[in-house]
Structure 1
Amino acid sequence: MKRLVILGAGTAGTMMANHLDHELNPSEWEIVIIDERKEHYYQPGYLFLPFDIYTPEDIIKPIQKFIPKKVQLLNEKIEKINAKENEVWLSKGESLHYDVLIIATGAKIAPGEIQGMQGEEWYRTVFDFYTFEGALALRDKLRVWEGGKLVVHITEMPIKCPVAPLEFAFLADSFFRHKKMRDKVEITYVTPLDGAFTKPRATAALNHLLEEKNIAIESDFAIAEVDNENKKIIDYGGREIPFDLLVTVPTNKGDELMERSGLGDELNYVPTNKSTLQSMAFPDIFVLGDASNIPASKAGSVAHFQAEVLTKNILSYIKGEPMKEEFDGHANCFVETGNGKALLIDFNYTHEPVEGSFPFSGFGPLSLLKESRMNHIGKLAFKWVYWNVLLKGIPIPFVPAKMQEAGKHF
């Protein structure tokens, strides 16, 4: 009996467990998935939790609920990957041999990378919303905050869901308007990029929305420290931005397991072939989701598209057949813009977001790179799709893994 081991039971790992459960013969292959957690978190929900749009119950469900019955789930901490010996070492001293390994350990925030970020103001006036704990603490703060200088800040790229900080700024504008206190809040969006987003056309549209909503933007800001005493962030050039409430996206890094195993780069992301999703160093290791270093967005939709491609490539690898370079970097993201509206962007390695209709050419029903109520409904509906379709490895109708050019105005 051969063994396929999946590290991580988050979005990417759970999808792969479901895909492969349908494809591998259980009399020939044992599938094991390892994660020290027992709860699965719907990470896109962290954006909505601070504004009381979602509750914790919307975001957390048992991991076991989404793992196929024939897949063995081990709730243990992973100590190290010994790739040369095809072994995974567990914290209790046991080792697990694998014939194929899938790394889906995700990415985490690392606020300790920036001087002062986790200082005395951490979770008092300095918050993240990329963790459940941070989003929940920020919710409690926003319920009582009386206004002042709100700074929404990105430390450095890459980050999980690159549009989420922008969404937070837009939702904050809407939130304070509904509380009749927008005139008491000065919102500033601070980014290390030279504009609002990583893609030029989307940046133009998003910069326009920032201007329309009276949200100031400070670009090219490379943070050096958070000054807790004087409540300001300082960049390496000496530029200072004061805050009364700082909502920051700290440095994102891959799991520390990659550093312990000698498999990661300087940010603990695993060097990966961007088209086949095979490890650059070990042919029997595959990587998907936020754990890899490929130049695609770190978002749930990307992991979904990757899972479809990777499933076929793993089957080809097992059969000794050539793998196909089919993953094109496809990303599909709703961007909440507040007041019950959202944008939709669809792009890949070679095509940036453009206007058009989605998923059907000519009649949508969703519009690309334009605000609409329908896009907002799509964003909220994604939660149901996530729990009931994506995690179970079910393809989304009319949305293939490869980006379609039909309906887009290039």
Structure 2
Amino acid sequence: MSGTHESVRKNIVILGAGTAGTMIANKLRHRLDRADWQITVVDRDDEHHYQPGYLFVPFGGYSHDQVVRSRHVFLPDGVDFVIGTVDKVEPEENAVVLEGGQRLPYDQLIIATGTTPRPDQTPGMLGPEWRRSIFDFYTLDGAEALAGALKRFEGGRLVVHITEMPIKCPVAPLEFTFLAEAWLRARGLRDRVELVFVTPLDAAFTKPVAAAHLGGMLDERKVHVETDFMVERIDTERKVLVSFDEREVPFDLLVTVPLNMGADFVARSGLGDELNYVSVDKHTQLSTTFDNLFAIGDASDIPASKAGSVAHFSVEIFVDNFLEHIAGRPMPGAFDGHANCFVESGDDKALLIDFNYDTEPLTGRYPLPVVGPMALLKETRANHLGKLAFRWIYWNVLLPGRPIPLPALMSMAGKHLPETEREKQEA
């Protein structure tokens, strides 16, 4: 009998054992009968990185061991973990092909392979100055190399640069700028450094209220902002960023956020857009092309921030939807693009922003009106402590799929609408 039952077991394959993939594996394993569903998770290695920690590494805040742990430790019993590199997905055949030829058949496929910095996509970025005067901090290697460069930096022009949107954690370049400014001040170097923030956006951030607030903070810290800058190449001989409209930004030390792209196998499989993000319904994360394929977290093309909080909130909606979907019923939940992010501002303070597809970051209190305890769009020490506490929550609560008492959908409770928005709503 057991052999017969085994033969009808269905396969869920999850590509990626990062934040979203690990949470999904934990939540689904606890809610699906093992006799009916086999869950397999695929990733290229056994190193799970706490990516928000990269921000602190250049300033000596976190060590390697504090941001890297073993992936399989966070996967539950009853989940197969396959270490391998995905060559392609064959959606018409319901199979994943790994490099080397191993095939993994699936009944349901969940792509959670995230997004990756691609310095190779900008001419000159990976040239002779890479990790000498040009650094990134969106990889652990880059953040560790940058820590060494900052120790040796004695003055000059420090440029923080975003190549193109979307990027992982869109506030991180601003956070780095604020932390660098405070770090230079603490070492008596601030007067010897010209700080420049270079962005392809028309302001410091994408949303007007937050952009005005964060732009004001850059002004207070005497950081020059170069907007609408679309980099064409980096002239490494002259140490200059060159834009498509031929503007130039010279640097002594460049901290860049390279173009972010989804996994290459997405392109090889014909599943993605020009940046290799999988096209999905923004409310359910179901593929717009295949009825048994989902993309979660940074791997999808949903118009939300590519941030851990989005992965967390969307997974909460996704799991209930997925269980209905595989039972042949309509998916009742609709993810609203909810994101919240702590924004480190230096001097042991941080802001908190909370927003979704339709509502930009506003002032107020979170998660409860009046009580908070977190202040929205306001620098406080409590927000900074919240950011630091999140690392423990990430390893011990979030990844194992334990419940967090925060609503997955954004609430307007405690938020203050600006006058123009209030007038619009009243009209």
Q: TM-score, normalised by structure 2?
A: 0.95
Q: Corresponding residue for 2:265?
A: 257
Q: Which amino acid aligns with 2:324?
A: S
One-letter amino acid of the structure 1 residue matched with residue 123 of structure 2? Q
Residue 159 of structure 1 aligns with an amino acid whose one-letter code is I
Pairing of 1:128-147 with structure 2 (within 5 A): 128-147=136-155
2:354 pairs, out of 337, 341, 346, with 346
Q: CA deviation at 1:146?
A: 1.0
Q: Aligned ranges for residues 9-28 of structure 1 at < 5 Å?
A: 9-28=17-36
**1:254-294 residue CA offsets vs partner (Å, 9 max, x unmatched):** 00010111111100000010001101110100111100001
The reply on whether 1:409 has 2:404 as its aligned counterpart is no
Question: How many angstroms apart in 2 are the aligned matches of 1:217 and 1:394?
Answer: 41
The AA in structure 2 aligned to 1:18 is N
Q: 2:230 matched to 1:222?
A: yes
Task: Identify the residue that residue 288 of structure 1 maps to in structure 2.
Answer: 296
Match of 1:62 among 42, 67, 70: 70
Q: For 2:143 and 2:117, how far apart are their aligned partners in 1?
A: 13
Q: After TM superposition, give the deviation of residue 372 of structure 1 in Å.
A: 0.5
**Residue 343 of structure 1: SS of its match in structure 2?**
strand
Indicate if the aligned counterparts of 2:320 and 2:333 stay in contact, CA closer than 8 A. Answer: no
User: Is 1:322 matched up with 2:336?
Assistant: no
- 1:48 partner SS: helix
CA contact (8 A) 2:111 2:295 kept: yes
**Separation in 2, partners of 1:151, 1:365:** 35
Shift of 1:90: 1.4
**Match of 2:422?**
none
SS in 1 for 2:45: coil
Equivalent of 1:242, from 247, 250, 265?
250
Shift of residue 70, structure 1, vs aligned partner:
1.0
Q: Could you tell me which of 372, 387, 393 is aligned with 1:379?
A: 387
Give the TM-score taking structure 1 as reference length. 0.99
Pick the aligned partner of 1:271 from 253, 265, 279.
Answer: 279
1:405 partner amino acid:
M
**Where do 5+ consecutive residues of structure 2 fail to align?**
1-8, 418-427
Q: Describe how 1:1-400 pairs up with structure 2 within 5 A.
A: 1-397=9-405, 399-400=406-407
Q: Distance in 1 between matches of 2:59 and 2:241?
A: 24
> d(CA) in 2 for partners of 1:24 and 1:148?
58
Aligned residue for 2:329, secondary structure, equals coil
d(CA) in 1 for partners of 2:332, 2:289? 18
C-alpha root-mean-square deviation of aligned residues, in Å? 0.7
What amino acid does structure 2 have at the position aligned with 1:293?
D
Q: Partner amino acid for 1:222?
A: M
Q: What is the CA-CA distance between 1:313 and the residue it aligns to?
A: 1.1
1:354 counterpart letter in structure 2: L
Q: Could you tell me which amino acid in structure 1 is paired with residue 62 of structure 2?
A: Y
**Which deviations, in whole Å up to 9, do the C-alpha atoms of 1:33-57 show, x marking residues without a partner?**
0001111000001110001011111
Counterpart CA distance in 1 for 2:199 and 2:158 is 14
| Whole-Å separation in 2 of the counterparts to 1:37 and 1:307 | 23
Name the SS of the counterpart of 1:359 in structure 2: strand
Of 90-99 and 344-353, the range deviating more from structure 2: 90-99
Determine helix, strand or coil for the equivalent of 2:40: strand
- How many Å apart are 1:207 and its aligned residue? 0.5
Counterparts of 2:162 and 2:331, CA distance in 1: 37
Q: Distance in 2 between matches of 1:73 and 1:147?
A: 48
Q: Which runs of 4+ in 1 moved over 2 A?
A: none
- Residue type of the partner of 1:36? R
1:326, distance to aligned residue in structure 2 (A): 1.4
Distance in 2 (CA, whole Å) between partners of 1:37 and 1:185 is: 40
- Report deviation, 1:114: 1.1
Identity of aligned residues (%): 55
- What residue is the counterpart of 2:421 in the other structure? none
Q: Name the CA distance, whole Å, in 2 between partners of 1:73 and 1:153.
A: 37
1:367-398, CA deviations, whole angstroms, 9 ceiling, x for partnerless residues?
Answer: 0011101000001111111111111112211x
Q: Tell which deviates more after alignment, 293-302 or 316-325.
A: 316-325
- Partners of 2:332 and 2:144 in 1: CA distance: 43
Indicate conservation of the 8 Å contact 2:160/2:173, yes or no.
yes
Distance in 2, matches of 1:93 and 1:166, equals 43
Q: Any gaps of 5 or more consecutive residues in structure 1? A: none
C-alpha contact 2:348 2:381 (8 A) present in aligned 1: yes
Letter of the structure 2 residue corresponding to residue 366 of structure 1: M
SS in 1 for 2:29: helix
> Contact 2:122–2:234 (CA<8 Å) still a contact in 1?
yes
Per-residue CA deviations over 1:72-125 (Å, capped at 9, x if unaligned) read 100111111000010011112121110100000000111111111111100000
CA distance in 2, matches of 1:18, 1:308: 12
AA paired with 1:311?
A: V
Q: Structure 1 stretch 92-101 or stretch 346-355: which is displaced more? A: 92-101
Shift of 1:325: 4.4
